[in-house]
Amino acid sequence: MKDKTLLMIPGPTPVPENVLLAMAKSPVPHRSSEFSAIFDEVNEDLKWLFQTKNDVFIFASSGTGAMDAALSNLLNPGDKVLSLVIGNFGERWAKIAESHGAIAERMTVPYGEVINPADLEKRLNEDVNKEIKIVTMTHSETSTGAVNDVKTLCEIIKKHGALSVVDGVTSVGAMDIKPDLWGIDVLVSGSQKGFMIPPGLAFLTADEKAFEVHKQCKYPGFYFNWSSYKKSLAQHTTPYTPAVNLIIALHTALKMLKREGLENIFARHRSNAILLRNSLRNMGLKLFVDDDKKASYAVTSVYPPEGVSVGDIRNSLKNDYDIIVANGQNDLKDKIFRIGTLGFVSERDILTVVSALNAAINKLKR
């Protein structure tokens, strides 16, 4: 049966009916008290979801826009950035830094692995002249399904004095991440992930230390300039026309998330990911990140069984069961497939994808 699609990719994620209905209205004028009232509530609820007392800026862009906004507001040409690379999205930070004229040094591990805190500590101890201005990292690396120990890494960065800039695109709203407590200076995310709304919004929160560095940035750009968003936020609005209907969707989604509660949200993601991982192992499948302690709860990467291709599995899931799972990216294309479990995903969805995958593999092996 068509039109019963189950999206099990790591974004865009499924959107609840309540949220879709909230969006399906004429746009509210953005310079109105009606919009400002909604916007104020969204901003308060975003601080709750991001576990921060600082402002959370909302950009009309995808997650990469917020990544760009993070570095464009901090860097001057020639600045040195250390990028911790455990997958494609970690590499993206280095490329963005270079696009702003910075010098990016990569600390890379084999994909599927995570950064060893001792290696970071050693590298930063070597930086006696404090040349490294920013350390970038990915929390949940969507291209592999591995998760960095952001808390420990940020403690080490804090001791050195550099700024930590963290990609929480597939972790905020799915896995515990505490910028204020863990000393994350800049944290970004995107709407089509744990936020249960469609693509189109990106989020950024920055602490006081990051704002001090921002003040020294000579060319922060125009559209994503933090200072403009901060100034407008104090006036209950945005500097430019916001994606009004997406913000209204977010308003509804955040209320749903608040009713569930942060601890329950994280517990749901954890138990769904563990159920999926154990079910895949019981089917004899090999996980790309085998160590549960290094695994993201947002996405699980799986090797296909002997004699069955990733393409066949994805096609069978799509054509026979209307379930979409993702291919691997770049070098991992056609080597692994990825199952997303973040956002509006329940235990029933996990059981459905596991049964369908089992049936698909049995058919393909015949």
Ligand X SMILES: Cc1ncc(COP(=O)(O)O)c(C=O)c1O
Does position 301 interact with ligand X (CB under 6 A)? The reply is: no
Q: Give the nearest distance from C-beta 242 to ligand X in angstroms.
A: 17
Among candidates 171, 175, 233, which has minimal Cα distance to 43? 233
* Cβ nearer to ligand X, comparing 102 with 187: 187
Site string for ligand X, 2-21 (x = CB under 6 A): --------xx----------
* Cβ nearer to ligand X, comparing 12 with 305: 12
Q: Give the nearest distance from C-beta 32 to ligand X in angstroms.
A: 29
Q: Which stretch binds ligand X (CB under 6 A): 59-67, 114-122, 268-276, 340-348?
A: 59-67
* Cβ nearer to ligand X, comparing 138 with 316: 138
Q: What does the DSSP assignment read for 295-337? A: B-SSEEEEPPPTT--HHHHHHHHHHHH-EE-EEP-GGGTTT-E
Contact assessment for residue 327 and residue 142, using Cβ atoms and an 8 Å cutoff? no
Q: What is residue 228's three-state secondary structure? A: helix
Does position 145 interact with ligand X (CB under 6 A)? The reply is: no
> How far apart are alpha carbons 136 and 68 in whole angstroms?
12
Q: Which of residues 163-182 bind ligand X (CB under 6 A)?
A: 167, 169-170
Tell me the C-alpha to C-alpha distance, in Å, between residue 42 and each of 11, 92, 172, 308: 21, 29, 15, 46
Q: Which residues contact 93 (CB under 8 A, 6 or more apart)?
A: 67, 71, 81, 83, 85, 104, 136, 137, 138, 165, 167
Q: Give the nearest distance from C-beta 64 to ligand X in angstroms.
A: 3
List, in sequence order, every residue forming a beta bridge with 339; answer none if it has no partner: 300
Does position 90 interact with ligand X (CB under 6 A)? The reply is: no
> How far apart are alpha carbons 74 and 211 in whole angstroms?
8
* Cβ nearer to ligand X, comparing 49 with 360: 49
Contact assessment for residue 139 and residue 171, using Cβ atoms and an 8 Å cutoff? yes
Does position 138 interact with ligand X (CB under 6 A)? The reply is: yes
Answer for which of 62, 225, 228, 237 binds ligand X (CB under 6 A) is 62
Q: Which stretch binds ligand X (CB under 6 A): 41-49, 56-64, 101-109, 111-119?
A: 56-64
Size of the site for ligand X (CB under 6 A): 12
Q: Give the nearest distance from C-beta 33 to ligand X in angstroms.
A: 31
Does position 72 interact with ligand X (CB under 6 A)? The reply is: no
* Cβ nearer to ligand X, comparing 35 with 195: 195
Residues in touch with ligand X (CB under 6 A): 10-11, 62-64, 89, 138, 142, 167, 169-170, 190
